[in-house]
Each structure stands twice: as C-alpha cells, then as structure tokens.
Amino acid sequence: MSESRRKPPAPAAFSPEDMARRRRRSIALALVLGGLVVFFFVVTLVKTGPAILNRPL
C-alpha cells in the first residue's frame, strides 16, 4: 500500500455556499432543540398541574 493510500481522507474544502448552507442547517437545528425545551417544559407543567408547586422545600 502506498503512502498516500494510508492517509485518512481529507475533508472536502467548503465553498462559501457550502458554509452558508451548513450555517442555515445549524440554525434550524438550534431552533428545533430550543422548541423542544419549551415543549417539554410546557407539557410537564400541564401534566403535573398545580401539584408542581406542592413539594417539600
């Protein structure tokens, strides 16, 4: 096996368009994750009801 074959593949160079696309994707993912946090918070409040305040301190 030649020397060049043993090298791990280099990541493809990102063009400015690729970077913009990846950035848009990351932002969308962040928004979804943020939405999930709000979703679980609200659902927990509704499922637990007033009892959420009734706990020992």
- Which residue has 């301190």 as its token pair? 57
Answer yes or no whether residue 46 interacts with other proteins by CB under 8 A.
yes
Report, in Å, the least distance between residue 57 CB and other proteins: 27
Select from 29, 34, 41, 48 the one that contacts other proteins (CB under 8 A).
29
Which residues in 8-27 contact other proteins (CB under 8 A)?
9-12, 14, 18, 21, 24-25
CA geometry: angle 39, 40, 41, nearest 5 deg: 90
The answer to whether the CB of 22 falls within 8 A of the CB of 28 is: no
Q: How many residues in the shown chain lie near other proteins by CB under 8 A?
A: 19
The answer to whether the CB of 38 falls within 8 A of the CB of 30 is: no
